Amino acid sequence: MQRIRKAVFPVAGLGTRFLPATKAMPKEMLTVVDRPVIQHVVDEARAAGIEHLIFVTGRGKAVIEDHFDRAYELEATLAARGKKAELEILNAAQPGAGETSFTRQQSPLGLGHAVWCARDLVGNEPFAVLLPDVLVLAKKSCLAQMIDAHRETGEKTNLIAVEEVAPDQTHQYGVVGMGARKGPAFEVTSMVEKPAKGTAPSNNIVTGRYILQPEIFEVLEKQERGAGGEIQLTDAMVALAKTQKFYGFNFEGTTYDCGSKLGFLAANVAFGLAREDIAESFRSELKRITAGSK
Ligand code: UTP
């Protein structure tokens, strides 16, 4: 079974839902507690044993590259001042030399196009895609859970992380149809993007974590523009599903959609309350604020 060594992070989107915050700063650099959203997702990938991090960036996203580089002046100053704890925080988040690659999407033509831009960096091996919009609060890295499940679905299979939502909410998401179970996963029988109310094949929605086979690139190469005039990853997965199996996997953990204001605020609360160092005082602060609001 081929190991999943590489992960792709599509970070070239415009982040229009967060204007004006994202006018000069990428939305992936917005902070949840004390680290940028993208770092939470990179930490999840590294905890799953990913060895190479591939970022698909665009104009105005150079700060993401800087974030994952060493900051010599800062490190030297911290060392000179004996700030060991702060240095350790920086070191823990630091990918090693040669473990990151950056490529540019050039035009935001859609998620499918962004993934396709990573084709040469990924090469001919299965790989993970993590959308930095989605943060997962979990005991065990969501991607690590997926890699375990993927071992059971077998060689040349694709795996999509899914989660259940209330049936009256499915029209907002990509939804999968459920077939036979295989180990911890189930066979995906169909994929529909934003189905009309009452027509969804299940209430399991696609959540922004994928393990894909490299053949997806051949499909993406020829993929026409779909919904919103964008090259959609879902359309390419539907096409690839004709020749390869796709499985859905309900992971353990709670997701937060950091691409939306509400999800982002909720993520800050949830991740803040999950942090031992601040949980207690944060909880009292939240109580104080909510007691005063109607
Ligand atoms: P979204 O559509 O949620 O992101 O794409 P967006 O376009 O940045 O956000 P809004 O809707 O304008 O606020 C999901 C993920 O895919 C990436 C985004 O960066 C985001 O992480 N993406 C999207 C690309 O890399 N390229 C694209 O062309 C589109």
How is the chain split into domains, by residue range? 6-292
Structure-model confidence comparison of residues 284 and 226, the more confident one = 284
At residue 157, the 3 state secondary structure works out as strand
Distance 209 CA to ligand 1 centre (A): 14
* Region 72-96 average pLDDT: 94
Confidence bin at 1 (pLDDT 50/70/90): confident
> End-to-end distance of the chain based on CA atoms, in angstroms?
56
- CB of residue 109 inside a 6 A radius of ligand 1: yes
Residue 281 buriedness (CB in 10 A; 0-12 / 13-18 / 19+): exposed
Q: In the chain, count of helices (H) and strands (E)? A: 11, 13
Q: How many Å lie between the centroid of ligand 1 and the Cα of residue 11?
A: 7
User: What is the CATH number assigned to the segment(s) 6-292?
Assistant: 3.90.550.10
Nearest to 237 by CA among 149, 111, 152: 111
Surface-to-core class of residue 86, CB atoms within 10 Å of its CB (0-12 exposed, 13-18 middle, 19+ buried): middle
Q: How many angstroms separate the CA atoms of 212 and 188, rounded?
A: 14
Q: Is the CB of 11 under 6 A from ligand 1?
A: yes
CB distance 8 to ligand 1 below 6 Å: no
Q: Output the pLDDT for position 294.
A: 60
Q: What percent of the chain has pLDDT over 70?
A: 99
pLDDT above 80 for 68: yes
pLDDT of 97 reads 93
Span from the CA of 12 to the centroid of ligand 1 (angstroms): 6
Q: What is the pLDDT of residue 235?
A: 93
Q: Are the C-beta atoms of residues 67 and 38 closer than 8 Å to each other?
A: yes
Task: Compute the mean pLDDT over every residue in the chain, rounded to the nearest whole number.
Answer: 95
Q: Is the CB of residue 210 less than 8 Å from the CB of residue 161?
A: yes
Q: What is the pTM of this model?
A: 0.95
Which position has the token pair 């698909």?
Answer: 56
pLDDT digits (tens, 9 = 90+) for 111-169: 999 999 999 999 999 999 999 999 999 999 999 999 999 999 999 999 999 999 999 99
- Ligand 1 contacts CB of residue 111 (under 6 A): yes
The CB of 174 under 6 Å from ligand 1? The reply is no
- List, for residues 141-152, the tens digit of each pLDDT value: 999 999 999 999
Q: How far apart are CA 179 and CA 164, in angstroms?
A: 15
224 falls in which pLDDT band (50, 70, 90)? confident
Atom number of ligand 1 nearest to Cα 9: 21
Query: Which residue's CA is the closest to the ligand 1 atom numbered 23?
Result: 13
Contacts of 197 (CB under 8 A, 6+ apart): 168, 171
Rounded distance between C-alpha atoms, residue 292 and residue 286, angstroms = 10
Mutate to test the pocket of ligand 1, among 111, 116, 172 (most ligand atoms within 8 A of CB): 111
